[in-house]
A = this chain, B = another copy of it.
Amino acid sequence: MTDNALDQQALDAYWRAANYLSAGQIYLLDNPLLREPLRREHIKPRLLGHWGTTPGLNFLYTHLNRVIRARDLNTMVVIGPGHGGPAMLANTWLEGSYTAANPAVQRDEAGMRALFRQFSFPGGVPSHVAPEVPGSIHEGGELGYSLAHAYGAAFDNPDLVVACVVGDGEAETGPLATSWHANKFLDPVHDGVVLPILHLNGYKIANPAVLARIPEEELDALLRGYGYAPRYVTGSGTDTAQTHRDMAAALDGALDEIAAIQQRARTGGDRTRPRWPVIVLRSPKGWTGPSEVDGVPVTDTWRAHQVPLSGVRDNPEHLALLEEWLRSYRPEELFDDNGAPAAELLDQVPDGDRRMGANPHANGGLLLRPLHLPDFRDYAAEVGKHGGTTSEPTRVLGHFLRDVVLDNADARNFRLFGPDETASNRLDAVYEATGKQWQAGVLPVDEHLVHDGRVVEVLSEHLCQGWLEGYLLTGRHGLFSCYEAFIHIVDSMFNQHAKWLKTSKALPWRRPVASLNYLLTSHVWRQDHNGFSHQDPGFIDHVMNKKAEVIRVYLPPDTNTLLSVADHCLRSRDYVNVVVAGKNESPDWLPMDEAVLHATRGAGIWDWAGNEDGGDPDVVLACAGDAPTLEVMAATSILREQLPELKVRVVNVVDLMRLQPHTEHPHGMTDPEFDATFTTDKPVIFAYHGYPWLIHRLTYRRTNHHNIHVRGYKEEGTTTTPFDMLVLNDLDRFRLVIDVLDRVPHLGARTALIRQRMADLRARHHQWTREHGEDLPEVLDWVWPY
């Protein structure tokens, strides 16, 4: 708490400066300090930007600066209304953090001109709080994820206060609506705190916002129902002095309460779930802008959403209004002769890294420490003969992850997120090392619920994803394990994160962060029990549309390969790694040394599986994914027994990117490599985990592409047996054998018999399952005998 009396004038000057700089960015090409009357040629030809939310954000930034200084707070800010880019740009420029990251934009008149000109301008900076803005981990272009990101940032940062501005438009989204419940997870002892500031500026693009149009008692009940203690501030269009006093009081009150809660929990041992404060700021949309334009009200209506004066270049009245508006901030008082902020403003700026634009948590790579990783080889499934043993890949991975948790317990920089599926996905060994973080009620029957745990589970993929993103972007490590089909719920969040990574990588001052790791299990081939609604392998396709430099997809065929891939992913930086792996008992194809080599190569010939003897196969059986690998091995086994003269090559693909040309993806094979692996002229039967056309998309430029015949999931599924799932989609071993017979010429008379036998087995299996409700044991006996 500050002892100084509130200097409302100083606060107001700072706010005016930020507002001036924001409006300047939207409108001005030149004459940044209005040293001469405003003329047409000073105005940008295309007026782009969102004024509506901006003055409210500036107001909050101004007040946050005050409390940061007064309390020496470690504070970062997440701006939900991401369209308010001008606000963050204005404030970081004022405080100097923008110039520190972007020396081309100095804090002087030329710098101000550059700041204005670059905004929403070709070759300049976007209009959102994009990666280009220092101090941001959250763009907000899509809306809905601010609060989840803020909580992710607060986990394991006990000294951090994450101020999170939630827009009232954004508040209507599903992800935001459930993000309020994150307070049932945040540990007041070991985590920091999120201070949500719900900004009711009343309107979206063309509509009022729901939360701005319900009675205050209803809003109050809602926020209390979410478990918060609300404080209200109403921003006045007229008495701004009072509004400054109210805001300062609300912030001081909230921060006092936060300090008291933390003290009770941390030193008093009080483990009741706190009712953290939330601030509700009701302020006019476009606050301080032109109240009326062309005879219709603008400020405090949806018309203030973007550019309040749109005809400035061609309409002298608009031009005059703009000049009047800009001069209303009295820039001559705010900037010195050089165009630098006046001393009075600089006095209000926090020091060094305390500036929100310079807080290292918002450039997480600065704080990132590598994980201590145990040697994954120590967890290897013992494999004497290829395929001679079986194990449950994700269960073994769970042991490795348990020790990752243990080995990084002190660093507190690794977490597992999941929608209530950690145990279902057989990673439950982690509970030997930690528990599930949970601050809501506990009953004696509960298991593994703790106040402070490395596992965070909530039945919202959106929250899991948002938390993990916030956690990673502030310099930590993590894994999101999810049912494969339902990861589509976060398709769009993934898009935004991949775009963030792509952009960040091009900014020299942003340091690399840990990759976002997905472990997709309970996958399409083992959702026979849950049925059609749980069967969808298309996330891989979705991911593939993003930039090659940020995307990696792995389909480890067995336990040891999964361990090697997981180790690699946890060491990697700035990627999105998608790992699809099975949880069911399945053959261990590779001893650990071979698995490491295979995972490193990403794809290769399994010469121990084929019988080509010297490199001239008649057919290539390729596979990617655990279920397809088993089917290819079984098909190969049948072929080698029934047609020993047929020369079969088996190729397994772990790293899907290997299939692309090396010109398209850094992992891609060169054409000679691809040709050496898949031949230039032999039939290739490719059994693939997902939708078959993806393999064609990846390989269409290859010499032998016209010979590649892909089997995969073709949206045929229901509640049935595991093997019937394969049959329904023509991915079963018998179908693969028939595919070989169909495509390899001159196989002779015996093929008719084999073909008949395969068809019979499929038919018998079908009949058997309909009668007995389980797979015909005989078909599953066709396992790898070599």
Contact = CB atoms under 8 A, between A and B. Distances in A.
Interface stretch (A318-326, A329-337, A527-535): A527-535
A244 interface: no
A615 B666 CA distance: 42
Nearest to A705: B700
A177 B223 CA distance: 13
A746 to B, nearest CB: 25
A543 to B, nearest CB: 10
Interface residues of A, number: 119
Given A45-B773, A214-B441, A443-B208, A545 B534 contact: no
Contact of A177 (B177, B300, B423, B442): B177
Contacts of A750: none
Contact of A210 (B142, B181, B691): B181
A606 B492 CA distance: 37
Contact of A48 (B122, B529, B536): B529
Given A48-B719, A208-B443, A532-B130, A459 B169 contact: yes
Contact of A172 (B178, B446, B693): B178
A561 to B, nearest CB: 26
Interface of A: 29, 44-46, 48, 82, 120-128, 130, 139, 141-144, 169-170, 172-179, 181, 184, 204-210, 213-215, 218-227, 297, 300-301, 420-424, 436, 438, 440-443, 445-446, 449, 457-463, 485-486, 488-489, 491-492, 495-496, 499, 502-503, 529-534, 536, 538, 541-542, 545-547, 691, 693-694, 696-697, 700, 705, 715, 718-721, 724, 769-770, 772-774
A440 B120 contact: no
A229 to B, nearest CB: 12
A533 B208 contact: no
A715 B549 CA distance: 11
Given A207-B436, A214-B227, 4 more contacts: A120-B529, A122-B769, A139-B533, A222-B226
Given A45-B772, A533-B496, A774-B45, A486 B222 contact: no
Nearest to A82: B533
Contacts of A218: 224-225, 227
A429 B440 CA distance: 50
B227 A225 contact: no
Instruction: Tell me the number of copies of this protein.
Output: 2
Q: Is the interface of A mostly helix, strand, loop or mixed?
A: loop
Nearest to A169: B459
Contacts of A459: 143, 169-170, 172-173, 204, 207, 209
27 contacts: A46-B773, A122-B719, A122-B721, A126-B718, A141-B530, A141-B531, A142-B486, A142-B533, A169-B420, A169-B459, A172-B459, A172-B463, A174-B174, A174-B462, A177-B178, A204-B420, A206-B420, A207-B436, A207-B449, A208-B438, A210-B458, A218-B224, A219-B225, A297-B445, A489-B491, A499-B533, A697-B697
A715 B491 contact: no
Contacts of A530: 127-128, 141
A492 B495 contact: no
A632 B458 CA distance: 49
B545 A691 contact: yes
Nearest to A222: B225
Contacts of A173: 174, 178, 459-462
Contacts of A143: 459
Contacts of A693: 697
Contacts of A496: 533
Contacts of A441: 208, 213-215
A45 B770 CA distance: 12
Contacts of A495: 485, 488, 536, 538
A726 to B, nearest CB: 13
Nearest to A716: B547
